[in-house]
Amino acid sequence: MSAPVVHPSAIVEDGAELGAGVRIGPFAVVGPRVKLGQGVEVMAHAVVEGNTQVGASTLVFPHAVIGGRPQDVKYKGGDTKLVIGERNVLREGVTINTGTEIGGGVTRLGDGNILMANAHVAHDCVLGNRVILANNVMLAGHVRVHDGAILNGGVGIHHFTTVGTFAYVGGLSRITRDVPPYTIVEGHPSRVRGLNLVGLKRARFPEATIRALKDAYRLLYRSDLPVRDAAARLKVDFAEVQEVQELVRFIEASGSGRLGRQGEEPGRAFAP
């Protein structure tokens, strides 16, 4: 692959590491501790700063600010990080902050994510792979978003909340509780509305798995059984269906505060 191409008006500070094929557009700024992987493109007026690593083939669109300091009054200027995987798309005006000293020190994105215009990812968040944040989505600190989740426009996620795998969050929803995997959640206040059947089919989940998740959903959300009793039955009846067991584990962990971490004490770090 070719050598990096830097526009004459761009500022790439000494110490920055540019992989093969990197392109830096007009008036972009790349800080001295930034590492850009092969084929990364930083477009006009974008800023990549801080102790930030960006994986191969990621696109940083105009006016995005990547690796900025946390917007947290407890942050004391520590050497925290932002780690971004490969093939991510960070559209116009996206902001992603580094971690904080008490939150594990790292904000992390996996591979193949799409963050649409003006989305914000706060300090110590962890995003998995193939996550979509639509326009103006706001993630507060310490949020986790698992693989394949979709958050629609204007969604606000409370700090220490977890969004499960292949969950679908409706636009303008206010999320203050964990979002179970494979479900649709929306509203203000938000609540579970159904299964994310479209997402499951698009992801080519087997029909048998989808039927099992439908049965699990009806038992958990449409029956008169207490959640604890419904979960106990699902552990037995669908012991061989990994996705149902994941849904049960998620709900049980959220109920105890272990997964969503809403009750986590300030100063108690968790591993990214």
| Burial (Cβ within 10 Å: 0-12, 13-18, ≥19) of residue 176 | middle
In angstroms, the CA 170 to CA 190 distance is: 9
Catalytic residue positions, numbered: 123-124, 141
Token pair for residue 251?
A: 């709900």
The three-state DSSP-derived secondary structure of 92-148 is CCCEEECCCHHHCCEEEECCCCEECCCCEECCCCEECCCCEECCCCEECCCCEECCC
| Burial (Cβ within 10 Å: 0-12, 13-18, ≥19) of residue 14 | exposed
Q: How many C-beta atoms surround the C-beta of residue 248 within 10 A? A: 21
Residue 27, SS3? Answer: coil
